[in-house]
Amino acid sequence: MPLITVVSAKHAPGATTTALVLAAAADPLTLPIVLEGDADGGDLAARTGTLFDPGMATLVEHARNGGAVEDLGLHAHVLPTGVRLVVGLIDPEQVSGYAADAATLLAPLLRRTGSLAIVDGGRWGSAAAEAWATRSDLVLVAMRPTVDSAEHVAARLPSLRRAASAVRPLAIGDTPLLPADVAVILGCPVSFLPLEPATARAVGEGRIGLAALRATKLFAAAERVLAELSVTGTGLNGPGDDVDRRSARRRLAELSRRLTA
């Protein structure tokens, strides 16, 4: 199974929630696991009411000491959705001691498990996010569906594509721009998750079970995203994915006029 990293663009919401929802929507046979790999993270333990130990610190030490792949689950907490969560670090000394090595040590371990591993990489541009991106099969870039956010992502896509095997922008919400409009601006396909603040908070705080989550639009959209991405493969940057950028620039002017009218 692939290793997926979710990063957020400037002013973008949802990297953490996206990782948790996609893992919940995945086939349980893939034994999905989410890692809070954001060096500025450490929020999920407090939000979900779990302990920091076990977590990323113990898992990194496990990997450093050549620990068995089968023991990976011992460093995770199980959320009501059934997703296994490895919580991040909050102490500055621990962050500096582990964040730099986490991707290098854990990516090979995660690949050997055969599980679907999704990493919350935090804001793109951080050293931790870049380290995870270079070792992932796919990077999802969570972004707001606005012209300025799309332009921000468009300017950074080339460098992100040089770092990662495959990249897919992910629009959180469909206003003021539709995902199709964002795709035109970026010149590539864009996946979509609806903006459901109440559901997102419940997921992020571990207050919703799988049955209740299944009844939401967010869960249905997450299933569609996984199907679009064909989690068993990459190839998202191949022929046919690009949109004519000249046409995209013309459409951007048209969109700007429509939004300011």
Tens of pLDDT, residue by residue over 165-217, are 899 999 999 999 999 999 999 989 999 999 999 999 999 888 999 999 999 99
Given a cut of 60, whether residue 246 has pLDDT beyond it is: no
> What is the span of the domain harbouring residue 114?
3-260
Tell me the pLDDT tens digit for each residue of 52-109. 678 888 888 888 888 888 888 888 999 999 999 998 877 666 666 676 688 888 999 8
Q: Is-contact 155 245, C-beta < 8 A?
A: no
**Residue 232 pLDDT level (bands cut at 50, 70, 90):** very low
- DSSP secondary structure of 164-233: SS-EEEEEES-SSS-HHHHHHHHTS--EEE---HHHHHHHHTT---HHHHHTSHHHHHHHHHHHHHTTT-
What is the domain count for the chain? 1
**Residue 25 pLDDT level (bands cut at 50, 70, 90):** very high
Average pLDDT over all residues of the chain: 83
Half-sphere exposure of 198 (CA within 13 A, CB side): 4
pLDDT, position 212: 96
pLDDT, position 230: 79
pLDDT, position 243: 47
State the pTM of this model.
0.86
Domain containing 208 — which CATH number?
Answer: 3.40.50.300
pLDDT, position 166: 92
